[in-house]
Amino acid sequence: MKTFFVTGGAGFIGSAFVRLLLEEYDDCRIVNYDALTYAGNPDNLAGLNPDRHRFVCADITDPEAVLANLDENTDVIVNFAAESHVDRSINSAAEFLQTNIAGTQVLLDAARARGVKRFVQISTDEVMGSLPEDDDKFFTEASPFAPNSPYAASKAAAEHLVRAAHHTFGLDTVVTRCGNNYGPRQFPEKFLPLALANAMKDDSIPIYGDGRNVRDWIYVEDHCRAILAALEKGRAGAVYNIGARNERRNIEVAEALLDALGKPRSLIKFVKDRLGHDRRYAIDPSLAETELGWRPRETWATGLEKTINWYRENGPWIEKVRNLAYRDYYKAQYGTEVTVD
Ligand code: NAD
Ligand code: TDX
């Protein structure tokens, strides 16, 4: 039997990972440790078996709470907990430094104190900065760090702390760096679910700048399977870039969503650019493919279809997360209101 301590497991990717663990291991036990910030959502955990999945509402920056909930026999910590939205980090960086940096160190210290066998850090391609447009360059594990937003800088700092814990104390660590995830249960502050939720209500889709920025999109379950492969087969101290070789310009993403929904492209609205907006992310996942034997299962077409179907079938989930706090955030960020039921 394996025991997992998953942080941030009530968020978008963490909740998909917890589901995958419960599917893949008949006898695993999971402590799902999440502070339920604005992005954490208990509805994301509906229906999970309480005998094998224990939810704890607490903060990773609280060392006592972490130690109180981290058993001696824990096999793996998987750290998803983070402030994850670039625009919010531009508005205010403080929480990003606390959770993403200080919180990661708390978890590393606790892992050593409890003799946890492996520590998996969920990082991002953004730590490597931005690539030139229309180029054949990709991010590899050897790409230098060049974070451009406070979010990316905080995730880069966290990676350095993980590296230091491995080098100095011999903690068994693995880092995964993924690109832009999409799929069910993604909070609609991120571009794809925001565009989808807006278009479903005939609200406009705000596109920053010229809309030609490129992101490398991956279906969330494919990312989770890569994390599982890294957790099981990754070398101690290694970093793995995870991507589905699926570069798209933002404008193409918006057009694909509108076409699939049968909505007019006139819903696209160009708005003021994000400060410091990274131009292109593109990942070379060769190492994960060769060392971990991992491959994505979904194509852009199948992943998008699954995602759109999920949002179509889960109107109440969307309406619930587009609460007063969300509507205030939206108004402050975009200067317009979103339509809610
Ligand atoms: P998310 O914002 O949906 O979820 C984050 C979760 O962490 C939430 O449930 C929140 O309540 C929890 N959390 C935040 N601060 C906490 C704290 N101090 N203590 C405990 N829990 C806390 O994020 P996501 O999109 O699911 O991303 C998960 C991880 O994957 C993050 O580390 C992010 O940097 C990384 N990542 C995300 C993407 C992406 O495209 N979304 C891509 C690459 C890497
Ligand atoms: O309203 C918008 N309009 C727009 O054009 C928003 C919210 C975004 N965008 C653009 C900015 C980016 O070029 O769309 C692209 C995607 O934006 P986000 O969804 O905010 O993602 P990004 O900034 O690329 O970062 C994401 O990928 C790496 C995740 O949010 C991070 O958590 C992850 O680490």
- pLDDT < 70 regions, the chain: none
- Domain contains 90: yes
* pTM for the predicted model, two decimal places: 0.99
Q: What is the dihedral of CA 131, 103, 223, 71, to 10 degrees?
A: 160
- Residues 92 and 150: beta-carbon distance below 8 Å: no
Q: In which element (H, E) is residue 214 found?
A: strand 214-219
How much is the pLDDT for 23?
96
- Domain contains 338: no
Q: How far apart, in whole angstroms, are the C-alpha atoms of residue 207 and residue 61?
A: 35
Q: Which two tokens stand for residue 114?
A: 């409890």
How much is the pLDDT for 136?
87
Distance 134 CA to ligand 1 centre (A): 30
- Domain contains 170: yes
- Domain contains 204: no
The one catalytic residue among 34, 59, 126, 278: 126
Domain count, the chain: 1
- Domain contains 23: yes
CATH code where residue 39 lies: 3.40.50.720
126: annotated active-site residue? yes
Range of the domain at 230: 3-181+216-242
Q: How far apart, in whole angstroms, are the C-alpha atoms of residue 120 and residue 140?
A: 19
Classified as helix, coil or strand, 205 is strand
CA distances from 260 to 78, 227, 312 (A): 35, 30, 12
Give the Cβ contact number of residue 210 at 10 Å.
12
What lies within 8 Å, CB to CB, of 154 at 6+ separation is 83, 89, 93, 96, 97, 100, 101
- Domain contains 267: no
Distance 286 CA to ligand 2 centre (A): 24
- Domain contains 210: no
| First-residue to last-residue Cα distance in the chain | 46
How much is the pLDDT for 141?
98
pLDDT tens-place string over residues 26-35? 999 999 999 9
How much is the pLDDT for 340?
85
How much is the pLDDT for 135?
80
- Domain contains 81: yes
- Residues 14 and 186: beta-carbon distance below 8 Å: no
151: annotated active-site residue? yes
